[in-house]
A = this chain, B = another copy of it.
């Protein structure tokens, strides 16, 4: 009866090492900076060999983005779960907001949410990580585009709308994240607020004239 609840000593030991490495890595990255932290320092903190680190994580980057992968697949699932009568962009909007609000339960099993949220600041301030983050986002967007296309009964290779819609949405999310990640308030409430205000700014931003409709645009101001 305990094979399901207790996965065996070997497996538990592995899990402990994986967790310890992740935590040590993130804490070192956040205190000393990503590039100034060597793998040797991480493994020294956990007291395993350098080789062991690379058996658990493909590299330093994978450690940084470990929890992000979890969050990303939750987001994709959330999009899939949206009612089919919702407009595509509305479904995406609800899915991200839902994802952010549920980030606690999603991440806390692995590391303190605080640590996860702080990785965004690390990513935004480290060019190499930021680049990887964008690439990973692009991969998620490709997946989302396929989901949207399926929802709408379209072929993602002949109709540009699914990818375009997702790209528009993703572009706005990047701006939002960046503003949030480079700011001081890394609370979930803050990202929630910024997400809403930026998504609401899409239609005004696409308007022909910006200068005359001051009321509409100014109302979407941020900060």
Additional pairs, 14, CB under 8 Å, beyond known A131-B132, A161-B210, A168-B168: A87-B207, A127-B135, A131-B134, A134-B134, A138-B178, A158-B221, A159-B222, A160-B201, A160-B205, A161-B204, A163-B179, A164-B202, A167-B175, A168-B202
A 125-167 contacts with B by CB, 8 A: 127, 130-132, 134-135, 138, 152-154, 157-165, 167
Q: Does A223 contact B (CB under 8 A)?
A: yes
**Considering only CB atoms, which chain B residue lies closest to A220 in the complex?**
B160
Q: Does A209 contact B (CB under 8 A)?
A: yes
Please indicate the chain B residues that have their CB under 8 angstroms from the CB of A80 in the complex: none
Known: A130-B135, A138-B134. A167 touches B160 (CB 8 A): no
CA distance A167 to B205 in the complex (A): 10
**What's the number of copies of this chain in the assembled complex?**
2
Partner of A175, one of B131, B134, B163: B163
Partner of A168, one of B88, B132, B161, B171: B171
Q: Are A168 and B172 in contact (CB under 8 A)?
A: yes
Please indicate the chain B residues that have their CB under 8 angstroms from the CB of A87 in the complex: 207-210
Please indicate the chain B residues that have their CB under 8 angstroms from the CB of A174 in the complex: 138, 167
Q: Is the interface of A mostly helix, strand, loop or mixed?
A: helix
The interface size of chain A toward B, counting residues with CB under 8 Å, comes to: 51
User: Which of A172, A210, A220 has the most B CB atoms < 10 Å from its CB?
Assistant: A210
A 182-223 contacts with B by CB, 8 A: 197-198, 201-211, 217-218, 220-223
Q: Does A89 contact B (CB under 8 A)?
A: yes
CA distance A154 to B88 in the complex (A): 30
